[in-house]
Chain A
Amino acid sequence: MNSVVCIAQVPDTESRIKIAADGRRIDETGIKFIVSPYDEFALEEAIRLKEKQTGDVTVVAFGPDRVQQALRECLARGATKALHIKGDAGDADALGIAKVLAAAIKTLPHDVVFFGKQGVGTDNSLVGPMVAELLDYAQVNVVTHVEFGEGKVTAHREIEGAEETIECPLPAVITAQKGLNEPRYASLKGIMAAKKITIDSKTVADLGLQDADIFNQRVTVISLELPPEKSGGRKIDGADAAAAAREIVKYIREEAKAL
Chain B
Amino acid sequence: MAGVLVFVETKDGKIKKVSREALSIGRKLAEAAGGDLIGFASDRAVAEDAGRCGAKKLYVAANIGPYLPETYAAAMKQVVGDAQPSIVLLGGSSNGRDLAPRLAAKLDAGVASDVDRLEWTGGKLRARRPVYSGKAFATVEVSSAPAMATTRPNAFPAEEAGSGAAEVMEIIIEAQSKAKLLDTKVPEAGELSIAEADIIVSGGRGLKEAANFSLIRDLAHALGGAVGASRATVDAGWIDHQHQVGQTGRVVSPNLYIAAGVSGAIQHLAGMSSSKHIVAINKDPEAPIFRVADLGVVGDLFQIVPALTEEVKRAKAH
Contacts and interface: CB of A to CB of B under 8 A. Distances in A.
Interface of A: 11, 13-17, 19, 26, 37-38, 93-95, 98, 120-134, 137-142, 154, 157-169, 172, 178-179, 217-227, 230, 232-239, 241-242, 244-249, 251-253, 255-259
6 contacts: A95-B105, A120-B247, A123-B130, A126-B111, A160-B94, A255-B277
B299 A166 contact: no
A165 B306 CA distance: 38
B143 A220 contact: yes
A245 B307 contact: yes
Q: Chain A binding site: helix, strand, loop or mixed by DSSP?
A: mixed
B311 A219 contact: no
A230 B291 contact: yes
Contacts of A236: 295-298
Contacts of A253: 315
From A11, A14, A138, name the one whose CB has the most chain B CB atoms within 10 angstroms: A138
Given A218-B144, A222-B139, A259-B316, A130 B101 contact: yes
Contacts of B279: 248, 251-252
B291 to A, nearest CB: 5
Interface residues of B, number: 100
Contact of A259 (B108, B266, B315): B315
Nearest to B196: A160
Interface string B125-139: 010011111111111
Contacts, number: 293
Given A121-B131, A233-B294, A236-B296, A221 B138 contact: yes
A131 to B, nearest CB: 8
B105 A165 contact: no
Contacts of A14: 266
B181 interface: yes
Contacts of B296: 232-236
A120 B137 CA distance: 14
Given A232-B291, A248-B279, A138 B179 contact: yes
B142 A138 contact: no
B292 A13 contact: no
A162 B189 CA distance: 9
A234 B68 CA distance: 47
A248 B110 contact: no
A206 B4 CA distance: 39
A248 B308 contact: yes
Interface stretch (B19-27, B46-54, B159-167, B248-256): B248-256
A168 B177 CA distance: 9
A163 B312 contact: no
A122 B95 CA distance: 20
Interface string B53-82: 000000000000000111001000000000
A64 to B, nearest CB: 18
Contact of A162 (B70, B187, B312): B187
B281 interface: yes
B309 to A, nearest CB: 8
A98 B130 CA distance: 21
Q: Which 9 A-B pairs have the closest CB atoms?
A: A238-B299, A218-B110, A133-B105, A233-B294, A161-B193, A241-B303, A219-B110, A245-B307, A256-B277
Contact of B102 (A124, A129, A222): A129
A179 B256 CA distance: 27
Nearest to B312: A249
B84 interface: no
A166 B71 CA distance: 14
B266 A178 contact: no
Contact of B94 (A122, A159, A166, A167): A159
B41 interface: no
Question: Most B CB atoms within 10 A — which of A138, A160, A227, A232?
Answer: A160
B179 A140 contact: yes
Contacts of A225: 136-139
Contacts of B244: 178
Contacts of B144: 217-219
B109 to A, nearest CB: 7
Nearest to B191: A161
B113 A218 contact: no
A232 B296 CA distance: 9
B153 to A, nearest CB: 9
Nearest to A135: B105
B178 A138 contact: yes
Nearest to A10: B132
Contacts of B177: 138
Nearest to B97: A125
B104 interface: yes
A207 B44 CA distance: 45
Nearest to A120: B247
B293 interface: yes
B93 interface: yes
Contacts of A11: 132
Nearest to A37: B248
Contacts of B270: 13
Contacts of A154: 182
